[in-house]
Amino acid sequence: MKKQYFGTDGIRGEVGRFPIVPEFMTRLGYAAGKVLTQNAKQGERCQILIGKDTRVSGYLLEASLEAGFAAAGVDVMLCGPIPTPGVAYLTKALRLSAGLVISASHNPYQDNGIKFFSANGDKLSDDFELAIEAELEKPMGCVSSEELGKAFRLDDAAGRYIEFCKSTFPGDQNLKGLKLVVDCANGAAYHTAPHVFHELGAEVISIGVHPDGRNINDGCGATAPDALIAKVKEVGADLGIALDGDADRLQMVDASGRLFNGDELLYVLAKERTDRGEALGGVVGTLMTNLAVEIAIKDLGIGFERAKVGDRYVLELLKHKGWLIGGEGSGHLLCLDQHSTGDGTIAALQILAAMKLSNQSLPQLLNSVKIFPQVLLNVKFKAGYDWKTDASLKFQIAQVETELKGTGRVLIRESGTEPVLRVMVEAQDKAIALSAAKSIANLIPTS
């Protein structure tokens, strides 16, 4: 069955437009609560943790969801603003029935969304989401007064999460002598990430730590790293760390202002573990992971597989393969030996640990990785055009792939929201990549 509301990363949209409206959120809380109680053990009282980022709409949606869960007889534990991976951790640590995050991640403040975690701290299964959607089709009810859910405040949520993050850093190492700039995107990590790095010994200069409900991801954080680059240079920091609004993405900057994306950091995570003699088996990237990173990871003597774009698909493939490390260029990095979901703060700690243990800088750790230039052309195609059956287009793609064999690759993706084909060509030389991409794009009928 096709899901109506849940996408690849929960439910997301503009606040005030269906489904991100109070009435639907109350019904969603009730529907999810009904599914939880139906799957609970005999006599077990269901509890769900609700966290959020710093968007002003979080108050509205939190209250609506709380009412829905209470009507279904589910107790709600509120922990206020906290990183998405913090909710995943606390849900598992506190032995709760499920966790829920109110966040639209890297989107502007006008958007918001809902993301669920299972009792084990990972994403809900498709079956569970379909069950919630089935309940949404039924009339909303309410349990009796004696069965109504209650609400509690978890006052030490941030402190618990900070200690968990610190526990993932080697116990015999510290960050003393390092000067770090930490950009929290005016988001959920504003009161957690700076403390993590400071308590491990680093000198921390924080930016993006003054949320006002409307400035989340606004010219700061992992999706807008220019502010971090400028600050690193201004204060002469050793490194910069950028998180996004819900702190599950990571980008890093060295003292020269060079930006390192998720692809490069993924290689560092893999290399550190293989250098320690850990049996990784392999690493999972996505269809967009740079070919140079794939080649470098295979040179480490381990496997590499590509998932569809999205950390959900990376996680699914990791579990299927029984592997531990995966991620994508946007900065979603999964270290399943440390956490059940992607966590920007923990990923940064793993990179810092790799630097400490090897006594090398980020550029030195990436010395063998020469990122291939990528050219991406978005082509709006004519209505009714079926690119998958276009013989001339298929022939040209095959020609380009033959010419690039071993030194580049081609990826064609259709947008899910508009009649646009995304033509990506990767090659060791940018001019070759651009020429190849144009040779394909020029065959797509646009009118």
Tokens found for residue 345? 């703060």
List CB contacts of 171: < 8 A, sequence separation 6 or more: none
Task: DSSP letter for 332, please.
Answer: B
Half-sphere exposure of 212 (CA within 13 A, CB side): 3
Query: Rounded to whole angstroms, how far apart are CA atoms 89 and 312?
Result: 17
Structure tokens that stand for 151 in this block: 């609400």
* Helix (H/G/I), strand (E/B), else coil: 432: helix
* Tokens read off for 4: 């109506």
- 49 - beta bridge partners? 77, 99
Q: Which of 57, 103, 105, 118 is the catalytic position?
A: 105
Angle at 87 between CA 85 and CA 88, to 5 degrees: 60
**How far apart, in Å, are the Cα atoms of 11 and each of 19, 59, 139, 430?**
8, 17, 20, 38
CA distance linking residue 184 with residue 193, whole number of Å: 7
105 carries an active-site annotation: yes
In eight-state DSSP terms, residue 208 is: S
Alpha-helical runs (H) found in 153-251: 157-167, 193-199, 226-235
Q: Contact, 143 vs 71, CB < 8 A?
A: yes
Between β-strands 11-14 and 282-286, what pairing exists: parallel, antiparallel or unpaired?
unpaired
Amino acid at 16: G
Q: How far apart are CA 219 and CA 268, in angstroms?
A: 27
Pairing type for strands 151-153 and 47-52 reads unpaired
Enumerate the active-site residues: 105
